[in-house]
Structure 1
Amino acid sequence: MRKFWRSAFSAVLAAAAVPIALLSVQQPAQALENNLARTPQLGWNDWNSFGCNVNETLVRQTADVMVSSGMAAAGYQYVNIDDCWSEWNRDSSGNLVPDHTKFPSGMKALADYVHGKGLKLGIYSSAGTTTCQGYPASLGNEQRDANLWASWGIDYLKYDNCGDHQGRSGQDRYVAMRDALAKSGRPILFAICNWGGDSVNQWGPATGNSWRTTWDIQGNWGSVLGILDAQPGWAGLAKPGAWNDPDMLEVGNGLSDTEARAHFSLWALLNAPLLAGNDLRTMSAATRSILTNTEVIGVNQDWGGRQGNRIADYGDTEVWTKPMANGSMAVVLLNRGSGTSTISTSASQIGLGSASSYSVRDLWAHSTGTTSGAISASVPGHGAAMYVVTGGGVANPGTFALRGQGSGRCLDITGASQANGTPAEIWDCHGGANQAFTSTAAGELRVYGNTKCLDVSGNATANGTAVAIWDCTGGGNQQFRLNGDGSITAVGANKCLDVNGAATANGSKVQIWDCSGGSNQKWAKA
């Protein structure tokens, strides 16, 4: 493992990802609102290639290459320093001190240089008394350190989980640094790195701009797949300003070019932070072309209401999808096996509605074709194909009831009332007019013979906002997208149609909530 003492915990951390799926029906914390990371952060970190061998020259040269290689133009912003940057002891005033040999000009001068390139500088510490390599860390010195970093012009903090925790919970330790950064007077992106432990799924979104979901990544195919397999349980937490982090990219570090394209495709689909971990100064042309594929990066930076997720698992082959803001669907066809395999899906499977033809954009070949609905590719071993499929509008057109997966009951308008403001609930399925919904090309769910629309009350976007019926207005709060995984996105709020508290009783109210992947947010035509 990258951090010398973590290997003993890797099995524990892997197991820790399992309860996330079990907890997914709980309502996660609200997002941290510091106006940072409204799209997933893009940048570079030194650790994967250099470990403790970081220095001022490396950082300056990397900033230069980030510009000259086209990475900056493709959206990469952050040049991040990891562990081992400081002296072994704080100074007489209690401040952290950059290593005089590694950083002879000091951090303020380095930040000025990076800013002069139009980029941003990141630093590293840990929510313990020492970092993972034994250098002084920030537990108990949160405000002192945050103020120091702000004075240097730091823009990003990766906050690890090593050292003595002094008996304090993860939430307490990370919230302390969140609050210190907020008081520092400088906007500093806060990246939590506690490897998916300490129930970070419950408090991470309200605390950091991103949070690690698993153990550390390694530069091999098995590591990439192992981390990928843990991601579906976290999918419902992601939102603008708060992202699941499956760890840094290993593009150019040990992976073949085919594996690297698949890795980059999947991390993009997951709305993950894209932090290169290779030596940018010596990267191959193939590695550069992968990291600067602006079409794939565009999928990563697009928020269509939920991060990408796996919708079909056939063993060695899988289908992953992500809705895009314009109603199209991004698709990755993944071949985990060693031999070439044909992988197929369809417009209906990925959540698009009926159409005579669909546009299919190949994001690696940079070519566009059309299909009547079939999407298929011959994918090399350890490889992936990636597309954006457009056409068909909302899936599942027609009139139907919507049965809740968790309750077995149907979406129902209370008391069969047709009055504006009548709330939606769940009730035993009975085929009545107050349970018959029609999806329209405009994305509405109409009821009572198309006279009323399902409506997010007051055009609100907050978790817990009631869903009711109202005269159809064409507003964004009356647009709902039926997704291939069974969830229904309230488009205007970018949240999911949700049974309050995962209740199953008749009369349980329906609301909007952050998409969690829980059975109380899954619906099927009945």
Structure 2
Amino acid sequence: MYPPPRSTGSGLVQHLWAAAVRALALALTAAAALLFATPGPAQAATVSQVSVPTAPMGWASWNSFASKIDYDVIKAQVDAFVAAGLPAAGYKYINIDEGWWQGTRDSAGNITVDTSEWPGGMSAIADYIHSKGLKAGIYTDAGANGCGYYYPTGRPAAANTGSEGHYAQDMLQFSEWGFDFVKVDWCGGDAEGLDAATTYKSISSAVATAAATTGRPLTLSICNWGYQNTWNWATGLAPMWRTSTDIYYYGGTASQSAVLSNFDQTLHPAAQHTGYYNDPDMLTVGMSGLTAAQNRTHMALWAISGAPLLAGNDLTTMTSETAAILKNSDVVAVDQDARGLQGVKVAEDTTGLQVYSKVLAGTGNRAVVLLNRTSSAANITARWSDLGLTSASATVRDLWAQSNLGSYATSYTASVPAGGSVMLKVSGGTEASSTSYSATSTGKYTGVSAASTGLDVVDVAYTNTGSTAVTGTLQVNSQTATTVSFPPTGSSQGTVSVQVDLSKGSSNSLTFTGSSLPTLGSITVSPIPGTNGTLVVGKASSRCADVYNNTITNGTQAEIWDCNGGQNQAWTYTSRKEFVVYGNKCLDAYNQGTTNGTKVVIWDCNGQNNQKWNVNSDGTITNVNAGLCLDAYGAGTSNGTSLVLWACNSGTNQQWSQS
């Protein structure tokens, strides 16, 4: 649950702090990169892939019942969950959401509940869930007051329904009650203006301590709706984190537009790996508002993105059609793929006709979704070259029909209904060329080459002879760092995979640090050509067009920043004259402005002329609607200088190159 959407911004102090960090990182990188790796022959690191923890699957109470829940409601859903065969399809969790608690505590500060609604207390319902071979989840808020206080949803507003000031106590109590999962919302945290990264780090620590004390693993779900750019800092703190606000609001209905919006907001492939997952919200499959075809598209998009699958429909009234969608073993297998990567957009030849691909475990395997966002049926083609495969033959399977379609070389084309999708698996293909690198010093790989700016899969060879996973920090160039988990391998070497953004050329570096790093071997780098873009580099500044701090919010003003090849600097210049970043945001002259100083921002691509740009032979980039030049404001050359429109004047702050 969450409050209505609102715009967010970054403060000056945060911006300056980030600038200092980036500058320091660049300095350290330059000092360390004195030795360069010699690329070795391509090697198939995929043969020893280690399975990583998959995204959680289950059911959650919020979408169908809001705060109107008690023991009998949950018990009935548990029974229906089992009767429908969902456990056999991989669904494990029964998660009790908002409304179970009205903010009362005893004299020792322990949570108390209404035993007329929860006979035997919360441990009794956890025991019932466990008796069916399932796992139990519960809910709280990061602030002092939970969502039900600010936004009553079937019960009167109740104060003190958050865990602020009680993180360690509450997480231990949840674990002692027998819960295996805890969702921590952000209504109170947002209202109080808490720093999300700091707050959830404390909660994550409390969860770890509780699990160590009771011996019961406790899965943490961070639910701050993508506010404060969760994907920048949540990896390593929790197995899953929300990237957007809700699909479904209390009293409303599900909609395909909301499904598509949440899917678009969850695509942060560099953050998702080794058991950590972007979460676009609970499923609304089978709820009022979506057709069967839209339900299949919803499920396909969550699967291609590797999202947690938490059904939200009323299981006691679930139709056989809905059950078949949720339980389709081929589609679920894509979501639960052991490699743990996120699918990404690899083609959009015509506006709204999109191809998404996910790199799967094994060699030569891809999941593909052909998505038609237009109002007319159309053919959409998946090209093997966009997926990182050669033109050799590969087998194509229709995952909804669960039938093989035959072998195809080079590509596969399907007719996709208006507003609909087709989901495929491409298997047995031949991987395109990859390159392996040895470390130039402990944990550091320099001289890593990329033919184009874009996303690459990196297989990291390592040995972890221990009995538990260990973690390390990965920084690519001077981009935002991410936490990588290395599960046990036994005595033999294994690999885990990450997706990283690289700049064109051979100056890329990947650096692993940490006190518990395993023994690292070589890395193997494999491009995903369909993600290729360019860096847009200012002649005056030698800095890149950049979206601050990986922000995806419409209206965020573009700027210049030290070039690092991050997703927020990789721009695809399309045949439609758009500069596209993140796969779905266009460089935009704000509010169709045509005057000097008009802000240049990112916005959902919409085909308007204020999102079209001419790339000229003199190095200028002019807005089609305004006829003005892309300009680093005030002839600025420092990090954070804003991009605007300005009358073309031959200044070097209006000249750009692409690489």
So what's the TM-score if we normalise by structure 1?
0.74
1:285 to 320, 325, 329: 320
- Structure 1 CA distance for aligned equivalents of residues 450 and 400 of structure 2: 48
Instruction: Identify which range, 59-68 or 266-275, moves more after superposition.
Output: 59-68
Letter in 1 for 2:416: V
Given the alignment, which residue of 230, 233, 251 partners 1:203?
233
Q: Which residue number in structure 1 is paired with residue 170 of structure 2?
A: 145
Specify the alignment match of 1:179 in structure 2: 205
Cα pair distance change 1:241/1:391, threshold 3 Å: closer
Measured against aligned partners, the alpha-carbon deviations of 1:131-185 in whole angstroms (never above 9, x if no partner) come to 1002421000111111211121011000001126656421222122211121222
Between the aligned partners of 1:241 and 1:424, the Cα distance in structure 2 is 26
For 1:43-442, list aligned pairs within 5 A: 43-134=58-149, 135=158, 136-163=161-188, 168-184=194-210, 185=213, 186-218=216-248, 219-232=254-267, 234-253=268-287, 254-304=289-339, 306-313=341-348, 314-327=350-363, 328-355=365-392, 357-370=393-406, 371-396=408-433, 424-425=446-447
Following superposition, the deviation at residue 203 of structure 1 comes to 2.0
Q: State the match for 1:484 in structure 2.
A: none
Cα distance in 1, alignment partners of residues 424 and 10 from structure 2:
33
- Amino acid aligned to 1:170: A
Match of 1:252, SS?
coil
Determine if contact 1:14/1:214 at 8 Å carries over to the other structure.
no
Partners in 2 of 1:457 and 1:210 — Cα distance? 25
Any stretches of 5+ residues in structure 2 without a counterpart?
26-50, 150-157, 249-253, 452-457, 465-470, 477-493, 512-522, 532-563, 571-658
* In structure 2, C-alpha distance between the alignment counterparts of 1:203 and 1:513, rounded to whole Å: 25
Cα offsets for 1:345-389 (capped at 9, x unmatched):
22222221231x321111101100222333122222222111111
CA change 1:70–1:44 in 2 (3 A) is same
Deviation of residue 256 (structure 1)?
Answer: 0.6
Distance 1:187 1:513, change over 3 A: farther
Q: CA deviation at 1:55?
A: 1.4
Q: How many residues align?
A: 439
**Cα deviations across residues 109-151 of structure 1 (Å, max 9, x unaligned)?**
1111110100011000000001100242100011111121112
Counterpart of 2:59, as a letter, is W
Q: Percent identity?
A: 36
The 1:422–1:96 alpha-carbon spacing in structure 2 relative to 1, beyond 3 Å, is closer
Distance 1:14 1:169, change over 3 A: closer
CA deviation map 1:391-428 (0-9, x unaligned): 3321259xxxx9xxxxxxxx9999xx9xxx99751699
| Alpha-carbon displacement from aligned partner over 1:260-294 (angstroms, at most 9, x marks no partner) | 00010010111100000100110111111000111
After superposition, residues 427-466 of structure 1 pair within 5 angstroms as none
Residue matched to 1:11:
6
| Matching residue's letter, 2:368 | V
Gaps (5+ residues) in structure 1? 28-35, 403-410, 430-453, 467-490
Q: What is residue 492 of structure 1 aligned with on the other side?
A: 495
Distance 1:427 1:519 in 2: 12
Distance of 1:126 and 1:163 partners within structure 2: 7
Report deviation, 1:320: 0.3
Work out whether 1:519 is the aligned partner of 2:553.
no
Letter in structure 2 aligned against 1:158: K
Asked if 2 retains the 8 angstrom alpha-carbon contact of 1:264 and 1:290, the reply is yes
- For residues 118 and 324 of structure 1, the distance between their equivalents in structure 2, rounded to whole angstroms, comes to 29
SS of the aligned residue for 1:176 comes to helix
User: RMSD across aligned C-alpha pairs, in angstroms?
Assistant: 4.0
Q: Give the drift of 1:54.
A: 1.0
Residue type of the partner of 1:255?
L
Structure 1 residues 513 and 148: CA distance shift in structure 2, 3 A: farther
- Shift in Å at residue 337 of structure 1? 2.4
Describe the shift of the 1:137–1:339 C-alpha distance in structure 2 as closer, same or farther (beyond 3 A).
same
Q: Counterpart of 1:213 in structure 2: which amino acid?
A: T
Structure 2 Cα separation of the partners of residues 120 and 267 of structure 1: 22
How many angstroms apart in 2 are the aligned matches of 1:330 and 1:424?
31
Q: Distance in 1 between matches of 2:113 and 2:460?
A: 52
Contact between 2:274 and 2:497, CA under 8 Å: does it hold in 1?
no
Query: Structure 1 counterpart of 2:285, which letter?
Result: V
Query: What's the offset of the Cα at 1:76?
Result: 0.4
Distance in 1 (alpha carbons) for counterparts of 2:101 and 2:233: 30
Counterpart for residue 440 of structure 1: none
Alpha-carbon distance in 2 for matches of 1:308, 1:142: 34
Tell me the SS of whatever aligns to 1:67.
helix
Q: Give 1:119's aligned amino acid.
A: L
Distance 2:355 2:322 in 1: 24
- Paired AA for residue 244 in structure 2: T
Check the 8 A contact 1:360/1:390 in 2, yes or no: yes
Correspondence for 1:438: none
- Structure 1 residue 513: deviation in Å? 11
CA separation in 2, counterparts of 1:183 and 1:77? 23
Equivalent pair of 1:463/1:513 in contact (CA under 8 Å): no
CA distance in structure 2 between the partners assigned to 1:111 and 1:305 by the alignment: 29
DSSP 3-state at the match of 1:163: helix
